[in-house]
Structure 1
Amino acid sequence: MTVLKRNLLIALLAMLPALASAENYAIGTGGQSGIYYPFGGALAKIWSDKVPGVNAKAEVTAASVENTIKVVRGDMIAGIAMGNVVLDAYNGEGKFPQKMPVKTLFALYPNLVHTLTLKDSGIDSLAQLKGKRVSLGAPASGTAVTSAALLESVGIDVKKDIDAVYLNYSETTNALANGQIDVGFIVGGQGVGAVTQIALTHDIKVLSISDEETANFIKQYPAYSAYDIPAGVYNKVDSISTLSVWNVLVVNANMSDEMAYNLTKAAFENIGDIRKVVKMAEMTTPANATRLQAVPLHNGAKKYLDSVIK
């Protein structure tokens, strides 16, 4: 063996422990037409570049419920999920038969309820959804949880009173455009791509939720709050009164304090890179990190946040 070859072999062997030490991790997101996926992708790049021993990749999923379950099972290092779903998991309610070992790293941005229909559908309120074909969102998603709860809060039984289907964002807008459904729910950030795109090709309306309906819903589900989407966010769509719930980054409560600290620190020290990809990340700040107060922050995340919030 020549000296050059021997030196190359020694160099490659020296690299092997470093390469082997980086574990592969998944971050649970959602469908590719929503905000979760690009947010998770940007976060995965930061964690892979900045956190030693972490090689992360965004994974397409059905979103909140699936992500929370996979975090609990240890299949994912973290998942993006709607706060109401994480709260249900923490309390052992809704889709979760018992209390789950979940905590949060930090809150991300608020999700908004979009109740979509075509402008000429003749549908102007939630009460008029009885007897209609309605997409409640992808199976095991926060959208499906929220839409079902909202309809039931106004007296609509999703099993009896509507023709319910479970479609993701892009499937929902395609079905609406093709006349296969009358109404579709999308619970996503302001300016979510799926709604933006259909508004450019079809005349749509987003149903407002009345003050009475909003107050009644928040009384039952305190993780939500009222929110007004300004006119013009979506093409030819007037201002909308709706509901919001914060998205959070959920992790297993058994994650080490060191890992939680490092993940949180890397995210906030490089949040500008995420904001280049996702405009809603402008709301991802240390000051907003505790928006979901009913579910505790991981101790490692709290340690970092306490060091930057004075």
Structure 2
Amino acid sequence: MTSRFSRRSFMGTTAAAAFVAASMPRGAFAAGPDFLTIGGGPSGGVFGIVGTAIASMLSQIFPDSIIDVQPGGSGPNLLRVGAGKADLGITSANNALDAWEGRDPATPESPVRNVRGMMTLMQSAIQIWVDARSDIRTLEDLRGKQVSAGQPGQTSWLVFENLLAAAGMTPGDIEANGGKLHPLSWAESQEALSNGQLDAVMWLSLWPHPTILQNETVRPMRTLSFDGAVLEKFLGESGGGFERVTLPAGLFGGQDEPAETVGTNTILFAKADMPDDIAYDIVKQLWENREDLYAAHSLLKHMTEETVGKGMVVPVHPGARKYFEEQDIAVGDSALGT
């Protein structure tokens, strides 16, 4: 396991997560590692909240371990675990596939293949949010509008470019006739959408994201539904790690009809060389106490017996596979590395 850690980071994480050793019998678990580093996300964000919850739960079975949660994100977490600077991380399945194949966030010279899937936590989907009263109904309707899709180089920006290409469009089409594709952060994008400065925000996002629900205190929101032919072209040309998803009517206050889109899974992954017994115990603890995860964030309630072992894209860790098979939980196999 990792042997380097920031004590300042650890102390802050300890206070935030309130690590308290539980009274469960230690004999049921393998001896814990000296250090366990988890790649989460920015403070207050979903990945950060989930990473902290996981750390708190693992401290109950590894009370003598120093558990450190680091800020990161889908790409940075893959790079850190791949480089041996973290033991566990949270990422999106499409990012994991890109890293494996030497695309963003990895370099072609350094594909990240020494990672293994542990469990699927929740699902993200390509979403373009607009005021429910807007006349924007299709990608074509974004021409001449004020739009944000994150910042150049970020996952959402790249996915948006690929989605536009599947529809025969480019960012330049949006910027015709006074439109603009604004390179804004998540917080900036959502604030501008809420106050009417933006007509639309596109993001590869968890659903239903709490920020979008919060925006509805100002204006009703809905997300666009995409043409089936466009989605199939996206999946065929640049959709590795994605699958068709239907977002239900009523997801947002202004969502009167289902929205057809594509999505990817958010997964917990580990170093390939994590001992099998440690990986087994981690998955066992998180799954058997999943109500604690559900309580940490409402988006985790979508993790079920039907989803937890599937859709990780990268090979599943042998320790995780052993646990799932003992519980008769279906495990999705990966063609990578075979």
Distance 1:306 1:195 in 2: 37
- Per the alignment, residue 70 of structure 1 pairs with 80
Pick closer, same or farther for the CA change 1:199–1:68 going to 2, 3 Å: same
Give the drift of 1:36.
2.6
Give the drift of 1:284.
2.5
SS in 2 for 1:56: strand
**Which of residues 229, 242, 260 in structure 1 aligns to 2:279?**
260
SS in 1 for 2:296: coil
- Per the alignment, residue 89 of structure 2 pairs with 79
8 Å contact kept, 1:170–1:194 = no
Give the drift of 1:83.
0.8
- Per the alignment, residue 181 of structure 1 pairs with 198
Pick closer, same or farther for the CA change 1:65–1:152 going to 2, 3 Å: farther
- Per the alignment, residue 44 of structure 1 pairs with 55
- Per the alignment, residue 164 of structure 1 pairs with 181
160-169 vs 232-241, greater mean Cα deviation: 160-169
Give the drift of 1:131.
4.2
- Per the alignment, residue 35 of structure 2 pairs with 23
TM-score scaled by structure 1? 0.81
- Per the alignment, residue 298 of structure 1 pairs with 317
Distance 1:43 1:133 in 2: 38
Give the drift of 1:198.
0.7
Q: Which runs of 5+ in 2 are unaligned?
A: 1-32, 330-338
TM-align CA RMSD: 2.7
Residues 182-236 of structure 1, C-alpha deviations (whole Å, 9 max, x = no match): 3212322322111111122113331111111122222231422222222222123
- Per the alignment, residue 9 of structure 1 pairs with none
Pick closer, same or farther for the CA change 1:105–1:217 going to 2, 3 Å: same
- Residue 220 of structure 2 aligns to which amino acid in structure 1? D
Total equivalences in the alignment: 288
Distance 2:92 2:307 in 1: 15
- Per the alignment, residue 92 of structure 1 pairs with 102
2:292 is the alignment partner of 1:279: no
SS in 2 for 1:201: coil
**Which of residues 209, 216, 219 in structure 2 aligns to 1:202?**
219
Distance 1:294 1:205 in 2: 30
Give the drift of 1:42.
1.6
SS in 1 for 2:203: strand
Pick closer, same or farther for the CA change 1:275–1:87 going to 2, 3 Å: same
Give the drift of 1:67.
1.9
Give the drift of 1:57.
4.7
8 Å contact kept, 2:132–2:255 = no
Q: Percent identity?
A: 24
Q: Which runs of 5+ in 1 are unaligned?
A: 1-20
2:247 is the alignment partner of 1:237: no
Q: Which has the larger radius of gyration?
A: 1
Residues 104-149 of structure 1, C-alpha deviations (whole Å, 9 max, x = no match): 1111121122201234543221123344433223666543343232
Pick closer, same or farther for the CA change 1:41–1:86 going to 2, 3 Å: same
**Which of residues 280, 289, 308 in structure 2 aligns to 1:270?**
289
Distance 2:42 2:230 in 1: 28
- Per the alignment, residue 131 of structure 2 pairs with 118
Distance 2:228 2:131 in 1: 23
Distance 2:157 2:116 in 1: 22
Pick closer, same or farther for the CA change 1:182–1:245 going to 2, 3 Å: same
Shift >6 Å, 4+ stretches:
none
SS in 1 for 2:201: strand
Residues 251-309 of structure 1, C-alpha deviations (whole Å, 9 max, x = no match): 22233323322221221121111112223323324542342253101122222222222
